Amino acid sequence: MKPILDKKYIKNALKKAKIILHKGELVIFPTETVYGIGANATNPIAIERIYRIKKRPHNNPLICHFQNLQKIQNHFEMNEVANKLAEYFWPGPLTLILKKKSSSTICTNVSNNKELVGCRIPNNPIANEILKSVPFPIAAPSANMSTKLSPTNIKHLDNKLRDKVFFIDGGDSHFGLESTVINVSSNDPTILRYGSVTIEQLKKIVPEIYFFNKKNNNQLSPGQQIKHYSPNIPLRINVKKVFEGEALLNFGKNNLKSKIFELNLSPSCDLNEAGKNLYNYLHLLDKNEYKGIAVAPIPNYDLGKTINDRLNRAIANDSS
């Protein structure tokens, strides 16, 4: 079924979304990264609804979405590095961890750190229209159940969300991977989560930036749980052989073959194409008729670092 993208549908959906958000309820909407499930970031009861319906732990913070830079500056302090990154990458798939001003009305349960919150300006026409229609920022994690695969189109939504939350069908996500998260609250900018903006792109703007790879970062960024982004069936990565009963998620040209079913993230080894396809293909392969999913090796540079980060978290053990 093709997504509904006609103007009348979008216009009516935006009107309804505005009413729902004002009531403190939830709305699922598209962004350029993945679909988000959003609520009024200044309403603590609305924010609790996000945690509850997703079964999301409170130490996994939410990202606040804003219409423009001025509205972020109304709530947060912006230093030189933050301004430089904002100028180059916003609107777009970059989240900056910023320090709240004492006058900010953003509620404390958006983040487990009361002072530091992830902020971004999305680059999606539907998301932008929603943000224009309300006088508050929207806190919105990915529209999935906690630890499960992120959705990049409406068909990926878990029935527990689809049946209870109003959603807007905006077609396929442009990037297909979450935003990159950077802590710029100090003069030592650090990447907390790999995402759609690569470290190679960031270093051209801020050469001194680096990836913060320690486990204890006080959960300033979402997506830092040991187990996250996981399908329901077993997953093996960097495989040299496909086992009996496994579906194959391939990349490039090689000798790997599945006897039952396979998809190729990018036959031409294009990491941007692979990133866009990752969640969609994992959703398509996540079926009980398969014993598991075997994933071909992905080069660990550029967007491959983000893809490998998601795959490594998908196979992690909760108790590890």
Asked, for residue 143, whether it belongs to a domain, the answer is yes
Q: Both 88 and 136 in a single domain?
A: yes
Q: What is the pLDDT of residues 105-146, one digit of tens each?
A: 999 999 987 899 999 999 999 999 999 999 999 999 999 999
Question: 177, 211, 245 — which closes off a domain?
Answer: 211
Question: 183: part of which helix (H) or strand (E)?
Answer: strand 180-183
**Structural domain includes residue 311:** yes
State the helix-helix crossing angle for 125-133 and 7-22, rounded to 10 degrees.
40
167 forms bridges with which residues in the sheet?
A: 28
77 and 168, same domain (yes or no):
yes
Query: Is 0.75 topped by the overall pTM?
Result: yes
CATH number at residue 189: 3.90.870.10
Cα–Cα distance between 138 and 140 in angstroms, integer? 6
- Domain hosting 303: range is 235-315
Q: What average pLDDT does the segment 215-221 reach?
A: 66
- Please state the rounded mean pLDDT for residues 286-305: 97
* Count of domains for the chain: 2
Mapped onto helix, strand or coil, the DSSP state of residue 274 is helix
How far apart are the C-alpha atoms of 189 and 51, rounded to whole Å?
A: 28
pLDDT digits (tens, 9 = 90+) for 221-262: 887 767 788 999 999 999 999 999 999 999 999 999 999 999
Does residue 87 sit in helix, strand or coil?
A: helix
CB 138 within 8 A of CB 81: no
The rounded distance, in Å, linking the Cα atoms of 217 and 240 is: 34
309 and 194 in contact (C-beta within 8 Å)?
Answer: yes
246 lies in some domain: yes
| 113 shares a domain with 63 | yes
pLDDT at 2 over 90: no
Same-domain check for residues 202 and 262: no
Mean pLDDT, all residues of the chain: 94
Query: Locate tokens 């993945």: which residue?
Result: 34
- Residues constituting the chain: 320
pLDDT at residue 217, rounded to an integer:
52
Is 199 a residue whose pLDDT tops 90? yes
Which of 196, 211, 226 is a domain's end point? Answer: 211
Residue 158 has pLDDT above 50, yes or no: yes
- Which of 160, 177, 211 is at the close of a domain? 211
Q: Are residues 203 and 245 in the same domain?
A: no
Average pLDDT estimate for 275-290: 98
Q: What is the pLDDT of residues 172-197, one digit of tens each?
A: 999 999 999 999 998 789 999 999 99
Q: With 60 as the cut, is the pLDDT of residue 20 above it?
A: yes
Question: Do 24 and 171 belong to one domain?
Answer: yes
- The answer to whether residues 258 and 194 belong to one domain is no
Residue 211, Cβ density class (10 Å: 0-12 exposed, 13-18 middle, ≥19 buried): middle
Q: Is residue 48's pLDDT more than 90?
A: yes
Q: Is the pLDDT of residue 26 over 80?
A: yes
Residues 263, 170 within the same domain: no
Instruction: Give the per-residue pLDDT at 220.
Output: 82
pLDDT value of position 166 = 98
Q: What is the pLDDT of residue 320?
A: 30
Residue 5 has a pLDDT of 72
Q: Give the pLDDT score at 221.
A: 84
Residues 164 and 239 in one domain: no
Question: Tell me, what's the pLDDT at 318?
Answer: 42
